[in-house]
Structure 1
Amino acid sequence: MSAVTASLCSTLLFVGLFVFVSADQKNITAQSGQKNITLTCRAPNNNIRAVEWSRTDLKPQHVLLYRDGHFEPANQHPSFKNRVDLQDRQMKDGDVSLILKNVTINDTGTYECRVFMSGPNNEHICNISLTVDPPGE
């Protein structure tokens, strides 16, 4: 083996790419007719500007949009009007959990919570799969 070949063979280059994906996926089962259920989501800090809850099969309409200290009903899906609220409107400790009232089997689906925050890493996402069983199951 020549000196050039030996030199090339002894040089090893490692290139690494690290991607961190939040596996913030929860599965919840509820009963149709249940008065209230909570879809839990926590953001990593208190610099929350807005919270949007949506259901993947109902986009672009949302389940709930809370911005600047109040709810924005424009573009809210009709089936969620007067049926949703935040567990803590002050969002202390990053709690942006959704309360869903008067649960029906039509509420089954995958819910997504997007939290928009000030500063770096300004978006946090929670995904929750909700299954609602018919009454009596």
Structure 2
Amino acid sequence: MIRNELLHSDLCNLSMFHTVSSLLEVNVTAGQTVTLPCRAPKTIIVVEWSRADLESQHVFVCWDGQVLPEEQHPSFKDRVDLQDRQMKDGDVSVTLKNVTINDAGTYECRVQREDDSVELISIIYLSVAPPGE
């Protein structure tokens, strides 16, 4: 319970600071797997991938090396993971499997570092085409 309260506090703090390093559009066909790229400075404590329309739930959250599926929106469960669980060289990109039309939207990648600084690293617009187009 305390961990969830601390996490909630940390995640709330993540949305208060904005430093955008990149804006990107990614195109994919429904049914495919797509990588949403994000590269952040090393010494990352929290990685949060979000989409504004999901409100308080997230696309993906990793806190101190632990993936937190309980923080995920149900539509992303078992479909999203870090591209590199070791986050080598600050790679906090995620892969989204079996993309659907409903996955289209604007995604944000935020990180919190050891010094408690928070950065909005990238904003990605995911465009999803129906199969066969």
- Whether the TM-score (by the shorter chain) exceeds 0.5 is yes
Alpha-carbon shift at residue 33 of structure 1 (Å):
1.3
Instruction: Tell me the secondary structure at the aligned position of residue 75 of structure 2.
Output: helix
Aligned length: 115
Any residues of structure 2 matched to 1:28-47 within 5 Å, and which? 28-34=26-32, 36-43=33-40, 45-47=41-43
Matches of 1:73 and 1:22 in 2, distance apart?
A: 26
Larger Rg: 1
Any residues of structure 2 matched to 1:57-96 within 5 Å, and which? 57-96=53-92
State TM-score, norm by structure 1. Answer: 0.78
Structure 2 residue 100 is the aligned partner of structure 1 residue 136: no
**Structure 2 counterpart of 1:89, one-letter code:** R
Which runs of no fewer than 5 residues in structure 1 stay unpaired?
A: 1-20
CA RMSD, Structure 1 to Structure 2 (Å):
1.6
Alpha-carbon shift at residue 86 of structure 1 (Å):
0.1
Matches of 1:54 and 1:22 in 2, distance apart?
A: 14
Give the share of equivalent positions with the same residue, in percent: 56
Kept in 1, the 8 Å contact 2:45–2:113? The answer is yes
Q: Which runs of 4+ in 1 moved over 6 A?
A: none
Deviations 1:18-57 (A, max 9, x none): xxx63511101100111x11000001x2110010111111
Matches of 2:20 and 2:109 in 1, distance apart?
A: 13
Structure showing the higher helix proportion among its residues: 2
Structure 2 residue 21 is the aligned partner of structure 1 residue 26: no
Matches of 1:75 and 1:27 in 2, distance apart?
A: 25
Alpha-carbon shift at residue 119 of structure 1 (Å):
2.5
Kept in 1, the 8 Å contact 2:20–2:119? The answer is no
Instruction: Tell me the secondary structure at the aligned position of residue 50 of structure 1.
Output: strand
The match for 1:16 is none
Matches of 1:91 and 1:29 in 2, distance apart?
A: 24
Alpha-carbon shift at residue 118 of structure 1 (Å):
1.6
